[in-house]
Structure 1
Amino acid sequence: MRKKIVAGNWKMNLTLAQGEQLINDILQAGLKLQDGQEVVVATPFPYLLKAKSLLKNNPGFYLAAQNVASEKSGAYTGEVSAEMLKSVGVDYVIIGHSERREYFLESNAALAKKIDLSLANGLKPIFCCGEPLEIRKAETQNDYVAKQLEESLYHLSAEQLKDVVIAYEPIWAIGTGLTASAGQAQDMHAFIRSQIAAKYGREAALHVSILYGGSAKPSNAEELFASPDVDGGLIGGASLVAADFVAIIQKLA
């Protein structure tokens, strides 16, 4: 019914040669993707063209950018527009990653603009949402995530929403070695789906892929992906090691 996706976010890592080797190692692993399963590779901007050339003849493999500008074009030195990304063959774009929110102070309103520009240019957003540790400790994570969804996504039509993937990031479990339990992940994913259903209807909610983005690795991916509302993962560190990334992909149900 909905896509099962494993997306690898390289962040600011690897040289071009190292990245090329990583992609080749993944492609040569003999993965057999099933119908409705996708692998997405999110490289740094300078590597997008090379990555596209390596991935293009491999069904089920797609290219993502890690960010996109919130403006269409103009005097924004150092920014990369949605139109530019589309022109080099990008399929997906990660929007609102917790690191972008924290280090670059990206607001929900700015992310809504990025969503709109991405969709207008035929890019599929992977929209990240999730709570920091203090919010989880206060047990107000549902309200926190609901606000992120409302302020960045709820202006979309149901038709537009079909091209959006949501990634839940428990921020307290990113790069810390901590991982949300399968139960915690399922609870939040089910909550997110319920919010989408309340806004757009049950049928629309059932078609939205929701990925888990909090330190997934080969040892816990199978349990996480077995949860009924977890449709795959947005993988950070483990996506930089071909054997680990392949092992995670193989856990897709």
Structure 2
Amino acid sequence: MPQASKRMLIAGNWKMHGRLESARALAEDIAAAIRENEALRAVDWLICPPFVHLPVVAAALQRSADASSDINALAWSARQNDKTTVGRQHAKDIPLYLGAQNLAAQSDGAWTGEVSGPMLLDCGCAAVILGHSERRQHFYETDAMIATKLCLAIASGLVVLLCVGESEQARHEGRTEAVIAKQLEVLTELPPGQREAAFQPVIAYEPLWAIGSGRSANPEDAQKVHASIRKQMLDAGFAAAHLRILYGGSVKPENAAALFAMPDIDGALVGGAALEAKQFLAIGEAAIRRIIAPVPEERKSWPG
């Protein structure tokens, strides 16, 4: 993706929902809509099904693209970096990519039930979600474990979608910025060599108190957090003005437009609404309206 023209990203986290046929049908419906509607190709799309459905969803996307190997990490890499890679770019390709919801903290070996980065690449994945609040809360993933996974994802060539966010208690205590700064250290403290090897990461702000609750942050409050994240990443030496920062707290078609009107919200990490093609696509349509009617200059926050 040329950094001068940052594209919005709509990512769908399917979590542990659906069966094989419903996953196939959902992927086909999303791909068909994006292929048939040129306007929907103005944003990037990412869908993250459960591990066991990755091959079937990848096959559905490949059939839709009429190509055998276009929807993969190399295709994403070419779009991210705007340069030729060994990945083939098909003339009929659409900006719809496949991602995973998690990654093992080991590269290979006797780790029963785990899935490595290279295995995700084999399934056609372009990206992986790391640090999701449900992984932190229910599976006790620490920042140290997430940092290990992040380095393995980078080594595998996967784009990292890092989730950060505060609890309701931290929010009430005014510790949102401090909590997120600590979580961002897995990126900001990367050694120079690994930082240079990394693709531009994607960050998703997901307030823990909003996940799965139907509650969403006030757009202005979400904007303040997004602007703070961007500044922290800039201070750490990242090209933060062009970094994509998504909002991920109960995004629905009804609140997407108000969220996307904020200058530092570059898309969404969608949960429940990603399980229905119509709702998921409607969120993307709200992002397209932001592109058509960009944020006025007087509302643009630092760094612009």
When the two structures are superposed, what TM-score results if normalisation uses the length of structure 1? 0.94
Q: CA deviation at 1:155?
A: 1.0
- Alignment equivalent of 1:119, drawn from 136, 145, 154: 154
Measure how far apart 1:235 and its partner are.
0.1
Q: Which amino acid aligns with 1:53?
A: A
Alignment partner of 1:192 is 2:229: yes
1:161/1:210 CA distance change after superposition, 3 Å? farther
* Alignment of 1:96 onto 2:100: no
Contact 2:223/2:265 (8 A) holds in 1: yes
Corresponding position: 1:26 with 2:63 = no
In structure 2, give the amino acid aligned to 1:45: F
1:96-117 per-position Cα deviation (integer Å, ceiling 9, x unaligned): 0000000001011111111111
CA distance in 1, matches of 2:143, 2:188: 9
Aligned to 1:172: 209
- The equivalent of 2:267 in structure 1 is 232
* Equivalent AA in structure 1 for residue 6 of structure 2: R
- Tell which structure's C-alpha radius of gyration is larger: 2
Percent of residue pairs bearing the same amino acid type: 42
Q: Determine the C-alpha separation between the residues in 2 that align with 1:68 and 1:33.
A: 33
**Would the aligned equivalents of 1:96 and 1:127 in 2 still touch at CA under 8 Å?**
yes
How far residue 162 of structure 1 moved from its aligned partner, in angstroms, is: 4.1
Q: Which residue of 2 aligns with 1:80?
A: 115
Letter in 2 for 1:245: F
Any conservation in 1 of the 2:150–2:186 contact (CA below 8 Å)? no
Is the counterpart of residue 48 in structure 1 residue 54 in structure 2?
yes
- The structure 1 segments of at least 4 consecutive aligned residues displaced by more than 6 Å after TM superposition are none
In the alignment, the residues of structure 1 paired with residue 47 and residue 248 of structure 2 have an alpha-carbon distance, to the nearest angstrom, of 14
Tell me the distance in 2 between the aligned counterparts of 1:163 and 1:118: 12
Match of 1:205 in 2: 240
Report how far residue 199 of structure 1 moved.
1.0
Change (3 A) 1:160 1:130: farther
Worse-superposed segment, 155-164 or 140-149: 155-164
What is the rounded CA distance, in whole Å, between the counterparts of 2:197 and 2:258 in structure 1?
31
Q: Aligned equivalents of 2:57 and 2:205: distance in 1?
A: 26
Alignment size in residue pairs: 251
TM-score normalised by L of structure 2: 0.79
The change in CA–CA distance for 1:113 and 1:238 in structure 2 (over 3 A counts) is same
Could you tell me which residue of structure 1 aligns to residue 104 of structure 2?
Answer: 69
Distance 2:197 2:268 in 1: 22
Which runs of no fewer than 5 residues in structure 1 stay unpaired?
none
Judge conservation of contact 2:130–2:149 (CA < 8 Å) in 1: yes
Selected match of 1:8 from 12, 17, 30: 12
- Where relative contact order (Cα < 8 A, 6+ residues apart) is larger, the structure is 1
